[in-house]
């Protein structure tokens, strides 16, 4: 007899696991939805923090800028000399000391001239004797010449008298020259100022025995002073004789005219020396520093920013924060710049900034790149 078919069913656990998975997913979605709604509600209840307000400035790009350049120099006397005697001797007088002013021709030192004066007295006596002998010889020669014409005096006697008078005339010239030489030596025993000035130094004192050319003292002229200032060699040709420039001495400014430009370059400083005439009313000391202030144009593109806008980064790189519009506010964006010059509280920089860019002017340490801020003009 035929078999009756038996109905078969799948195991219940497999279907139950699918139901449990669906239920878990539904619960997860519901939980996330509730969390999002709760967060939204919390956000709506929490007031938003106000944006930080920063001072801003505008970066103006330019092709060049003017730079103040200072060149340093020294006050120098128009004339200075180390004085000494032309003859040897012992110093008898030195009436002046360091810092004393002297006029041109004033006695500043003298040698012991007692021996010279004895020699001069002897030479003067010889001169008088020779003059007397010469006068007598000329009288005798004149008389013998008259007598010789009549034959009363021999030609030999007349020639002897005439030649003696000639020899005495030559001797008179020699004694006169010797006396003049002694007078010159006497003048050389006195040291006089060749120009008006100030005694800067003394190297010897009374009683010292000096040789010709031994330094005795240094004299510096005070009536004509100069300023010797080294400038860049490429700028030396721009200075013309007679042009006036502003110099600074002890925080005092005055005008000075160019006297000359030296045609060489200092091997140490690599600068050319410009000589200026110091006006008579300027109270300057020899060797004092003096400054020449010049304005020069530098052909470098860039712009001026407050120093407070700069932030030093790694490895000496400087950065600024540029402001750009973002969702109704301003976002700070970092830009890299190079500092070319400093002037007071401003810096001339170039870099990735574009013309008319808004830049945070101060307080950059409080702001991180990417922060949203508001701005007010302050730079």
Residue-range domain boundaries for the chain: 53-64+300-377, 70-78+222-296, 113-188
- What are the residue ranges in the chain where pLDDT is below 70? 1-28, 30-49, 143-159, 378-379
Q: pLDDT of 293-340, one tens digit each?
A: 888 889 999 999 999 999 987 777 899 999 999 888 899 999 999 999
What CATH number does the domain located at 113-188 have? 1.10.287
275 Cβ neighbours under 8 A, 6+ residues apart:
226, 227, 228, 258, 259, 260, 261, 262
- Write out pLDDT tens, residues 360-379: 999 888 888 998 998 887 65
Q: How far apart are CA 320 and CA 352, in angstroms?
A: 10
CATH fold of 53-64+300-377 reads 2.40.420
Share of the chain above pLDDT 90, in %: 53
**pLDDT per residue as tens digits for the range 142-159:** 766 666 666 666 666 666
Q: pLDDT above 70 covers what percent of the chain?
A: 82
Q: What's the confidence (pLDDT) of residue 154?
A: 65
Model pTM score? 0.59
Nearest to 202 by CA among 108, 287, 97, 110: 97
Q: Are strands 101-102 and 190-192 parallel, antiparallel or unpaired?
A: unpaired
Confidence (pLDDT) at 317 = 87
Residue range 280-289, pLDDT digits in tens: 888 888 889 9
CATH number corresponding to 70-78+222-296? 2.40.30.170
Separation of alpha carbons 111 and 209, rounded Å? 9
């Amino acid at each position: 007899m035929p078999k009756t078919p038996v109905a078969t069913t799948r195991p219940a656990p497999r279907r139950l696991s699918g139901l449990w998975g669906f239920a878990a997913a539904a619960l997860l979605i519901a939980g996330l939805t509730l969390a999002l709604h709760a967060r939204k509600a919390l956000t709506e209840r929490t007031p938003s923090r106000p944006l930080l307000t920063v001072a801003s400035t505008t970066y103006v790009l330019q092709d060049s800028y003017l730079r103040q350049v200072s060149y340093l120099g020294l006050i120098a006397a128009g004339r200075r000399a180390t004085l000494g005697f032309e003859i040897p001797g012992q110093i008898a007088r030195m009436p002046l000391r360091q810092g004393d002013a002297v006029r041109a021709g004033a006695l500043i030192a003298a040698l012991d001239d007692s021996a010279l004066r004895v020699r001069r007295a002897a030479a003067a006596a010889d001169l008088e004797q020779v003059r007397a002998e010469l006068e007598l010889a000329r009288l005798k020669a004149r008389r013998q010449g008259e007598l010789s014409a009549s034959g009363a005096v021999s030609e030999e006697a007349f020639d002897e008298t005439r030649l003696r008078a000639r020899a005495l005339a030559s001797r008179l010239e020699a004694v006169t020259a010797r006396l003049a030489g002694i007078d010159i030596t006497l003048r050389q025993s006195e040291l006089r100022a060749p120009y008006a000035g100030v005694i800067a130094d003394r190297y010897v004192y009374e009683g010292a025995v000096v040789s010709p050319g031994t330094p005795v003292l240094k004299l510096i002229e005070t009536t004509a002073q100069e300023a010797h200032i080294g400038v860049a060699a490429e700028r030396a040709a721009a200075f013309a004789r007679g042009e006036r420039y502003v110099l600074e001495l002890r925080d005092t400014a005055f005008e000075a005219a160019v006297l000359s430009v030296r045609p060489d370059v200092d091997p140490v400083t690599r600068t050319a020396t410009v000589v200026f005439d110091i006006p008579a009313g300027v109270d300057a000391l020899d060797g004092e520093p003096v400054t020449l202030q010049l304005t020069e144009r530098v052909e470098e593109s860039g712009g001026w920013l407050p120093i407070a806008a700069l932030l030093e980064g790694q490895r000496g790189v400087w950065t600024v924060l540029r402001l750009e519009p973002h969702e109704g506010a301003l976002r700070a964006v970092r830009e890299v710049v190079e500092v070319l010059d400093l002037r007071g509280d401003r810096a001339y920089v170039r870099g990735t900034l574009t013309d008319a860019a808004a830049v945070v002017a101060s307080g950059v340490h409080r702001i991180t790149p990417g922060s949203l801020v508001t701005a007010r003009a302050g730079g």
